[in-house]
Structure 1
Amino acid sequence: MAETETETAARDGKGTKDERTAAKLAKRIGAFAKEHGGAEAQLAYVGERGTRIVLVGQDGAWGDLFATDNAVAVAAVAKSGVTVHEDFDGEFAARVKTGRYEWTRMAGMQVGGPRNK
Protein backbone atom coordinates (compact mmCIF):
# COMPACT_ATOMS: atom_id res chain seq x y z
CA MET A 1 0.00 0.00 0.00
CA ALA A 2 1.35 3.45 -0.94
CA GLU A 3 2.07 6.01 1.73
CA THR A 4 0.02 9.23 1.59
CA GLU A 5 1.64 12.67 1.50
CA THR A 6 0.44 13.38 5.05
CA GLU A 7 1.91 10.12 6.33
CA THR A 8 5.21 10.84 4.59
CA ALA A 9 5.33 14.38 6.02
CA ALA A 10 4.52 13.08 9.51
CA ARG A 11 7.22 10.40 9.22
CA ASP A 12 9.74 12.99 8.05
CA GLY A 13 8.84 15.26 10.99
CA LYS A 14 7.73 18.09 8.74
CA GLY A 15 3.95 17.87 9.10
CA THR A 16 1.48 19.34 6.66
CA LYS A 17 1.44 23.00 5.77
CA ASP A 18 -1.56 23.57 8.07
CA GLU A 19 0.17 21.76 10.93
CA ARG A 20 3.30 23.88 10.49
CA THR A 21 1.23 27.08 10.35
CA ALA A 22 -0.68 26.08 13.50
CA ALA A 23 2.61 25.32 15.26
CA LYS A 24 4.02 28.74 14.32
CA LEU A 25 0.87 30.50 15.53
CA ALA A 26 0.92 28.47 18.76
CA LYS A 27 4.51 29.55 19.34
CA ARG A 28 3.53 33.21 18.91
CA ILE A 29 0.53 32.76 21.22
CA GLY A 30 2.82 31.16 23.81
CA ALA A 31 5.29 34.04 23.53
CA PHE A 32 2.47 36.56 24.06
CA ALA A 33 1.22 34.62 27.08
CA LYS A 34 4.71 34.44 28.57
CA GLU A 35 5.26 38.17 28.11
CA HIS A 36 1.91 39.10 29.67
CA GLY A 37 1.64 36.70 32.62
CA GLY A 38 -0.66 34.31 30.79
CA ALA A 39 -3.30 34.82 28.16
CA GLU A 40 -6.76 33.82 27.04
CA ALA A 41 -8.18 33.84 23.53
CA GLN A 42 -11.32 34.22 21.50
CA LEU A 43 -11.67 33.06 17.91
CA ALA A 44 -13.59 35.31 15.54
CA TYR A 45 -14.44 33.61 12.25
CA VAL A 46 -14.40 36.28 9.53
CA GLY A 47 -15.67 34.22 6.61
CA GLU A 48 -13.61 33.07 3.66
CA ARG A 49 -10.70 35.25 4.79
CA GLY A 50 -10.12 33.10 7.88
CA THR A 51 -10.20 33.47 11.64
CA ARG A 52 -8.92 36.21 13.91
CA ILE A 53 -7.31 35.00 17.15
CA VAL A 54 -7.81 37.73 19.75
CA LEU A 55 -5.50 37.43 22.76
CA VAL A 56 -5.88 39.12 26.14
CA GLY A 57 -2.99 38.91 28.58
CA GLN A 58 -3.43 38.67 32.34
CA ASP A 59 -1.99 42.19 32.54
CA GLY A 60 -4.72 43.58 30.24
CA ALA A 61 -2.54 43.83 27.14
CA TRP A 62 -4.17 42.58 23.99
CA GLY A 63 -3.21 41.59 20.51
CA ASP A 64 -4.36 39.46 17.66
CA LEU A 65 -3.17 37.02 15.06
CA PHE A 66 -4.83 35.87 11.86
CA ALA A 67 -5.18 32.37 10.48
CA THR A 68 -6.39 31.91 6.92
CA ASP A 69 -8.25 28.76 7.95
CA ASN A 70 -10.53 28.22 10.96
CA ALA A 71 -9.19 24.71 11.58
CA VAL A 72 -5.65 26.11 11.75
CA ALA A 73 -6.76 28.71 14.33
CA VAL A 74 -8.47 26.06 16.44
CA ALA A 75 -5.38 23.84 16.28
CA ALA A 76 -3.09 26.75 17.17
CA VAL A 77 -4.94 27.70 20.35
CA ALA A 78 -5.23 24.04 21.31
CA LYS A 79 -1.46 23.57 20.92
CA SER A 80 -0.73 26.75 22.88
CA GLY A 81 -2.82 25.63 25.86
CA VAL A 82 -4.59 28.97 26.40
CA THR A 83 -8.20 29.15 27.52
CA VAL A 84 -10.56 29.94 24.64
CA HIS A 85 -13.74 31.96 25.19
CA GLU A 86 -16.83 31.55 23.01
CA ASP A 87 -17.60 35.28 23.06
CA PHE A 88 -15.69 38.48 23.61
CA ASP A 89 -17.87 39.91 26.35
CA GLY A 90 -18.32 40.18 30.10
CA GLU A 91 -15.34 39.79 32.39
CA PHE A 92 -13.09 38.74 29.52
CA ALA A 93 -13.65 41.94 27.55
CA ALA A 94 -13.48 44.06 30.70
CA ARG A 95 -9.87 42.95 31.28
CA VAL A 96 -8.65 44.65 28.10
CA LYS A 97 -6.68 47.81 28.82
CA THR A 98 -6.69 50.37 26.04
CA GLY A 99 -4.61 53.49 25.81
CA ARG A 100 -4.95 56.86 24.14
CA TYR A 101 -3.85 55.47 20.77
CA GLU A 102 -6.70 52.94 20.62
CA TRP A 103 -9.30 55.49 21.69
CA THR A 104 -8.24 58.06 19.09
CA ARG A 105 -7.97 55.46 16.31
CA MET A 106 -11.36 53.93 17.14
CA ALA A 107 -13.11 57.30 17.33
CA GLY A 108 -11.19 58.90 14.48
CA MET A 109 -12.12 62.42 13.54
CA GLN A 110 -15.42 62.27 15.48
CA VAL A 111 -13.62 63.21 18.71
CA GLY A 112 -10.63 65.00 17.29
CA GLY A 113 -8.43 61.96 16.75
CA PRO A 114 -6.47 61.18 13.60
CA ARG A 115 -8.49 60.30 10.52
CA ASN A 116 -8.88 56.62 9.86
CA LYS A 117 -7.31 55.99 6.48
Structure 2
Amino acid sequence: MADTKHAERRAARLAREITAFAGAHGGAEGQLAYIGQAGTRIVLVGADGAWGDLVAPTHDIAAAAAEKAGLTLREAFDGEMAAKVRTGPYEWTRMAGIQVGGPSNG
Protein backbone atom coordinates (compact mmCIF):
# COMPACT_ATOMS: atom_id res chain seq x y z
CA MET A 1 0.00 0.00 0.00
CA ALA A 2 2.81 2.42 0.86
CA ASP A 3 4.49 1.63 -2.47
CA THR A 4 1.27 2.39 -4.33
CA LYS A 5 0.86 5.74 -2.59
CA HIS A 6 4.51 6.58 -3.26
CA ALA A 7 4.09 5.72 -6.97
CA GLU A 8 0.94 7.84 -7.19
CA ARG A 9 2.69 10.81 -5.56
CA ARG A 10 5.69 10.41 -7.88
CA ALA A 11 3.43 10.24 -10.95
CA ALA A 12 1.51 13.32 -9.79
CA ARG A 13 4.76 15.25 -9.27
CA LEU A 14 6.03 14.31 -12.73
CA ALA A 15 2.64 15.20 -14.24
CA ARG A 16 2.92 18.70 -12.74
CA GLU A 17 6.37 19.09 -14.29
CA ILE A 18 5.10 17.87 -17.67
CA THR A 19 2.16 20.27 -17.47
CA ALA A 20 4.46 23.17 -16.57
CA PHE A 21 6.76 22.37 -19.50
CA ALA A 22 3.81 22.15 -21.90
CA GLY A 23 2.41 25.43 -20.57
CA ALA A 24 5.71 27.22 -21.04
CA HIS A 25 6.20 25.91 -24.59
CA GLY A 26 2.78 26.11 -26.23
CA GLY A 27 1.97 22.44 -25.66
CA ALA A 28 4.08 19.32 -25.85
CA GLU A 29 4.27 15.76 -26.98
CA GLY A 30 6.46 13.03 -25.63
CA GLN A 31 7.97 9.61 -25.88
CA LEU A 32 8.78 7.08 -23.16
CA ALA A 33 12.21 5.46 -23.38
CA TYR A 34 13.30 2.61 -21.11
CA ILE A 35 16.77 3.36 -19.72
CA GLY A 36 17.47 0.22 -17.77
CA GLN A 37 17.66 0.10 -14.00
CA ALA A 38 17.46 3.90 -13.88
CA GLY A 39 13.84 3.69 -15.04
CA THR A 40 12.07 5.36 -17.95
CA ARG A 41 12.92 8.68 -19.55
CA ILE A 42 10.01 10.93 -20.50
CA VAL A 43 11.29 12.89 -23.49
CA LEU A 44 9.33 16.12 -24.05
CA VAL A 45 9.21 18.27 -27.18
CA GLY A 46 7.37 21.57 -26.94
CA ALA A 47 5.32 23.09 -29.75
CA ASP A 48 7.98 25.81 -29.94
CA GLY A 49 10.77 23.25 -30.44
CA ALA A 50 12.09 23.35 -26.88
CA TRP A 51 12.92 19.95 -25.47
CA GLY A 52 13.59 18.39 -22.14
CA ASP A 53 13.30 15.17 -20.26
CA LEU A 54 12.32 13.71 -16.93
CA VAL A 55 13.16 10.33 -15.45
CA ALA A 56 10.63 8.14 -13.70
CA PRO A 57 11.73 5.14 -11.63
CA THR A 58 9.44 2.78 -13.57
CA HIS A 59 7.65 2.64 -16.91
CA ASP A 60 4.27 2.45 -15.12
CA ILE A 61 4.95 5.68 -13.22
CA ALA A 62 6.10 7.41 -16.42
CA ALA A 63 2.97 6.28 -18.27
CA ALA A 64 0.72 7.36 -15.38
CA ALA A 65 2.38 10.79 -15.26
CA ALA A 66 1.95 11.27 -19.01
CA GLU A 67 -1.70 10.27 -18.76
CA LYS A 68 -2.37 12.59 -15.80
CA ALA A 69 -0.75 15.48 -17.70
CA GLY A 70 -2.68 14.72 -20.89
CA LEU A 71 0.60 14.31 -22.79
CA THR A 72 0.32 12.94 -26.30
CA LEU A 73 2.79 10.07 -26.53
CA ARG A 74 4.57 8.81 -29.63
CA GLU A 75 5.72 5.23 -29.99
CA ALA A 76 9.23 6.30 -31.02
CA PHE A 77 11.40 9.39 -31.20
CA ASP A 78 11.17 9.29 -34.98
CA GLY A 79 12.29 11.73 -37.66
CA GLU A 80 9.06 13.70 -37.53
CA MET A 81 9.41 14.28 -33.80
CA ALA A 82 13.14 15.01 -34.06
CA ALA A 83 12.49 17.59 -36.78
CA LYS A 84 10.45 19.63 -34.28
CA VAL A 85 13.38 19.98 -31.85
CA ARG A 86 15.21 23.30 -31.95
CA THR A 87 18.69 23.41 -30.52
CA GLY A 88 20.73 26.41 -29.54
CA PRO A 89 24.41 27.25 -29.16
CA TYR A 90 24.70 25.39 -25.85
CA GLU A 91 23.57 22.09 -27.35
CA TRP A 92 25.79 22.42 -30.43
CA THR A 93 28.84 23.31 -28.35
CA ARG A 94 28.09 20.53 -25.90
CA MET A 95 27.56 17.96 -28.65
CA ALA A 96 30.78 19.02 -30.36
CA GLY A 97 32.66 18.72 -27.10
CA ILE A 98 31.37 15.22 -26.49
CA GLN A 99 31.47 13.87 -30.03
CA VAL A 100 34.53 15.31 -31.76
CA GLY A 101 36.76 16.68 -29.06
CA GLY A 102 35.45 20.21 -29.45
CA PRO A 103 35.03 22.70 -26.63
CA SER A 104 32.94 21.58 -23.71
CA ASN A 105 30.61 23.55 -21.50
CA GLY A 106 32.06 22.49 -18.20
TM-score with structure 2 length normalisation?
0.90
Q: What is the aligned residue count? A: 104
Query: Deviations for 1:16-72, whole angstroms, at most 9, x for unmatched residues?
Result: 100010001001100100110000001110111100111000000001111111110
Q: 2:65 aligns with which of 70, 73, 76?
A: 76
Higher relative contact order (CA 8 A, sep 6+): 2
Query: Deviations for 1:51-95, whole angstroms, at most 9, x for unmatched residues?
Result: 011100000000111111111001000110010011111211100
* SS of residue matched to 2:52: strand
Correspondence for 1:62: 51
Identity %: 59
Correspondence for 2:30: 41
Matched, 1:113 2:93: no
TM-score with structure 1 length normalisation?
0.82
Q: Which runs of 5+ in 2 are unaligned?
A: none
* SS of residue matched to 1:22: helix
Structure 1 residue 113: deviation in Å? 2.0
Q: 1:92 aligns with which of 81, 87, 98?
A: 81
Structure 1 residue 98: deviation in Å? 0.3
Correspondence for 1:12: none
CA distance in structure 2 between the aligned counterparts of 1:25 and 1:40, rounded to whole angstroms: 14
Which has the higher Rg, Structure 1 or Structure 2? Answer: 1
